[in-house]
Structure 1
């Protein structure tokens, strides 16, 4: 798949498409340089990142490389018999993160560039509302009869931004994830959505709490501040600057100002999904 077809496939932001076309047409990144840097990305991502970060408009350059390499993974999808719909839904992540980059930095590109090696290696797929990534566990814990050790293969569940996280969409997505990856491995989720303290500020029937109830929480990360970033778009030192435009923002701000924290939780999908 060519990059322009790919950009249309993932509905990339028109302004970003224009800038990418200008970058491509300028000849600034020649074919030989692209192939050289693509090989570097495959062999040593850290070194690739260091090299691109030297560019003045590095966020846009990251977007160019990730989109072009993403387009080239379509052949691998076809060989594995993975649908074009899953390909499109999975790589739509680039559009989300390009939009986030513009909102945070005022420029089109990718700042969370280290997230996308999963997409290139075909270890993560969006199946319905959620993403499912095969990876080695970073945690040791026991949940009922299930023991998980560091290094064990697991399926990590991620929740991309976008549509509402309804209980129906969550359950449908889990069914799709298990149809794709099977039921042998444990399904884990590490997210601010699983922070137990959210039950103190959200109603029992909220989408977030109903999502949380699908998991057994096995660990809590008190220092992680992803919740603040997700709720307000930026982590601030001064809590007073946080907006109060939604009920969640108002409740979360009040919670934080009371001296409490909004961390993250690690959960394992409850046993009933494996029956």
Structure 2
């Protein structure tokens, strides 16, 4: 799941201003500058990122040449440096400020950050190898980029990618997919969550936690979730032994307790909710619900035109039609 911070940032600027801003942002990293892949190497990288067939030709055609398109290439190199910049031992890891490309750049802009991640893949894979991450986990983790290309096309009717901030986690090695769920290493920030979990026996502010994210590519069946949670603690202990994790947290509309009033008692979503103890703030999350379930970009949903083919579809739309709002909620759980 992604939140508002992972959405495209700010209004469009002109193409020249946007490229100049990206190329001029400061960055410091010891990682070598990328080189453009070609032929079989490019196809192999697209395979690992699970880039869908409808996007591949445009992605390959738009990959810039350093000599013929120096401004766009310099912007990509600078973003590559920012992606792998070391913030230092005492600095928090932050997502770079990468605004979505202006419409004037067309396909080259819509796929700009796909090109970035194609260039950044070799270093990301080297990090995974150093950590001993199994190949199947690596493949499942990086396939999320292709999934975001699919949802972009469903929402916009054309090819593109606007989840540049979200995929930073995968390439820096802080997020991995373990079966049905994704787990991201982080710390609890009670300021961001709007509440404290420690009073109920949960994690305290600053404690290490595994943040749970739910890919939207299949049923949320309890057996699959059980297997993911069981794998998570062992995975972290094996590959990141320096930071023990006792708790998982989740921030999602799927934890909105209002869903119990609309779904059957035995639904997978309600079973998922029961894993977590609620805490913190519950801001309105209508846009997140409509985007995740119906693939409608924020502010564009027409309730009368949304599909009503499942119990969840009907419940979500009925609640909004009657003036209700869905909420994004926080929850914590002990890892098994």
* Residue in structure 2 matching 1:159, options 203, 214, 238: 214
Report the aligned-residue RMSD.
2.7
Greater CA drift, 4-13 or 202-211: 4-13
* Residue in structure 2 matching 1:20, options 46, 59, 77: 59
Instruction: Tell me the residue number matched to 1:65.
Output: 116
In structure 1, runs of 5+ residues without a counterpart are none
| 8 Å CA contact 1:195, 1:220 repeated in 2 | no
> 1:16–1:147: structure 2 CA closer, same or farther, 3 Å change rule?
closer
- Quick one: distance in 2 between partners of 1:220 and 1:51? 29
Give the drift of 1:109: 2.4
Secondary structure, counterpart of 1:97 in structure 2? helix
Instruction: Tell me the residue number matched to 2:91.
Output: none
- Quick one: distance in 1 between partners of 2:119 and 2:231? 28
Greater CA drift, 25-34 or 251-260: 25-34
Secondary structure, counterpart of 2:280 in structure 1? strand
> 1:211–1:99: structure 2 CA closer, same or farther, 3 Å change rule?
same
| 8 Å CA contact 2:208, 2:245 repeated in 1 | no
- Quick one: distance in 1 between partners of 2:226 and 2:56? 35
Greater CA drift, 75-84 or 132-141: 132-141
> 1:187–1:29: structure 2 CA closer, same or farther, 3 Å change rule?
farther
* Residue in structure 2 matching 1:101, options 131, 134, 152: 152
Instruction: Tell me the residue number matched to 1:232.
Output: 294
Give the drift of 1:221: 1.5
Instruction: Tell me the residue number matched to 1:87.
Output: 138
* Residue in structure 1 matching 2:178, options 127, 131, 134: 127
Instruction: Tell me the residue number matched to 1:195.
Output: 256
- Quick one: distance in 1 between partners of 2:99 and 2:51? 26
Give the drift of 1:25: 7.6
Greater CA drift, 107-116 or 64-73: 64-73
Secondary structure, counterpart of 1:115 in structure 2? helix
| 8 Å CA contact 2:181, 2:215 repeated in 1 | yes
- Quick one: distance in 2 between partners of 1:147 and 1:20? 43
Task: Compare relative contact order (CA 8 Å, sep 6+) and give the higher one, 1 or 2.
Answer: 2
| 8 Å CA contact 1:194, 1:265 repeated in 2 | yes
Instruction: Tell me the residue number matched to 1:263.
Output: 327
Q: TM-score, normalised by structure 1?
A: 0.87
Secondary structure, counterpart of 1:228 in structure 2? helix
Aligned length: 270
CA deviations 1:48-69 (Å, max 9, x no partner) are: x249557433121111112331
Give the drift of 1:177: 0.9
Give the drift of 1:231: 2.5
| 8 Å CA contact 1:192, 1:262 repeated in 2 | yes
In structure 2, runs of 5+ residues without a counterpart are 1-36, 86-93, 238-243
- Quick one: distance in 1 between partners of 2:252 and 2:99? 28
Q: TM-score, normalised by structure 2?
A: 0.72
Give the drift of 1:212: 0.9
Greater CA drift, 93-102 or 53-62: 53-62
Secondary structure, counterpart of 1:73 in structure 2? helix
| 8 Å CA contact 2:64, 2:73 repeated in 1 | no
Instruction: Tell me the residue number matched to 2:32.
Output: none
| 8 Å CA contact 2:220, 2:272 repeated in 1 | yes
Give the drift of 1:14: 1.4
